[in-house]
């Protein structure tokens, strides 16, 4: 997606921190008109301001079509789907499963239909027919937060998704209303805002892209999750087991790039490399929530 074409959809105002609600920031990274700001209170990093809802519709209208153009990246994602599935199967092995931001069901399809009843939710309408055609997986199209559900889910997943929402707190709040007590919320393939690579590369970090709004750490996510009845079970930072990693060349390049940055020659760096700690994986268990606490949580974040 061309940045220039999206400029007209930028929101005008700077929003409070999505984690703590504070309004004091420092500029962390800047790419053309996109500015990542770091909260002075809690350290959360977000692109702020970001696109309006109308802009998001444009951004994701052809998301699947554009994504499938990169065949090499799709092959690597296919490997990652199995890695991400195998990790969460350590915690939940059957039941109703909902994938928020399910695309055309590629990740959901890796879960055995004999063990899981699989449902997807997508913002983009082009994913629905493709998911039905390829995997016979039902995908609902629309705003997840505004949807009604007639089942409770044992596993809800956000794979490479939570960073895309303007208001991720409302998503987590909605999840807390449709998940079973004792169910699991799984977040994976998400950029780690407190990673070493982001701190080094800033706007040159490959994950600082036009479609990423928020750069959470596990600590920041857990601070939100606790307000809605979730407790952290486990977390992990994938690297060497992934098809993206090449430790020898990755380590050499980041050392070279650090020297370039320190000598004032960062303009000669084209992009970052995959690196340890850049992507986070975590799972939370839902213990139930007192609705009075829920209201306090909403008020404390300004949502």
Average per-residue pLDDT for the chain: 91
How many C-beta atoms surround the C-beta of residue 277 within 10 A? 15
Instruction: Please give the pLDDT value at position 52.
Output: 85
- Name the pTM for this structure: 0.91
Q: Evaluate if residue 302 carries a pLDDT over 80.
A: no
Which neighbouring-strand residues pair with 97? Answer: 118, 155
Instruction: Please give the pLDDT value at position 61.
Output: 72
- DSSP state for residue 14 in the 8-state scheme: P
pLDDT per residue over 182-240, tens digit each?
999 999 999 999 999 999 999 999 999 888 999 999 999 999 999 999 999 999 999 99
Rounded to whole angstroms, the Cα distance separating 237 from 276 reads: 7
How many C-beta atoms surround the C-beta of residue 213 within 10 A? 21
How many C-beta atoms surround the C-beta of residue 258 within 10 A? 13
């Amino acid at each position: 997606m061309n940045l220039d074409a999206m400029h007209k959809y930028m929101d005008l105002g700077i929003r409070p921190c999505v984690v703590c609600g504070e309004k004091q920031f420092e500029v962390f990274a800047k790419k053309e008109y996109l500015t990542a700001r770091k909260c002075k209170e809690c350290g959360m990093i977000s692109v702020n301001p970001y696109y309006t809802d109308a802009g998001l519709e444009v951004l994701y209208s052809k998301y699947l079509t554009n994504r499938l153009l990169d065949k090499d990246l799709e092959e690597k994602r296919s490997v990652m789907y199995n890695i991400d599935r195998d990790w969460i199967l350590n915690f939940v092995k059957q039941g109703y499963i909902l994938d928020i931001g399910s695309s055309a069901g590629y990740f959901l399809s890796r879960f055995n239909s004999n063990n899981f009843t699989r449902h997807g939710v997508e913002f983009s309408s082009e994913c629905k027919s493709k998911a039905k055609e390829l995997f016979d997986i039902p995908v609902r199209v629309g705003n997840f937060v505004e949807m009604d559900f007639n089942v409770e889910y044992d596993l809800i997943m956000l794979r490479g998704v939570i960073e895309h929402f303007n208001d991720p707190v409302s998503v987590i709040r909605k999840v807390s209303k449709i998940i079973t007590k004792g169910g699991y919320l799984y977040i994976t393939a998400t950029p780690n805002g407190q990673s070493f690579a982001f701190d080094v590369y800033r706007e040159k970090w490959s994950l600082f892209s036009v479609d990423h709004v928020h750069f959470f750490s596990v600590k920041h996510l857990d601070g939100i999750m606790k307000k809605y009845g979730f407790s952290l079970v486990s977390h992990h930072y994938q690297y060497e087991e992934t098809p993206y990693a090449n430790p020898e060349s990755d380590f050499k390049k980041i050392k070279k790039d650090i020297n370039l940055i320190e000598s004032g020659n960062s303009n000669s760096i084209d992009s970052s490399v995959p690196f340890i700690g850049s992507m986070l994986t975590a799972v939370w268990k839902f213990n139930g929530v007192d609705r009075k606490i829920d209201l306090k949580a909403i008020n404390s974040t300004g949502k």
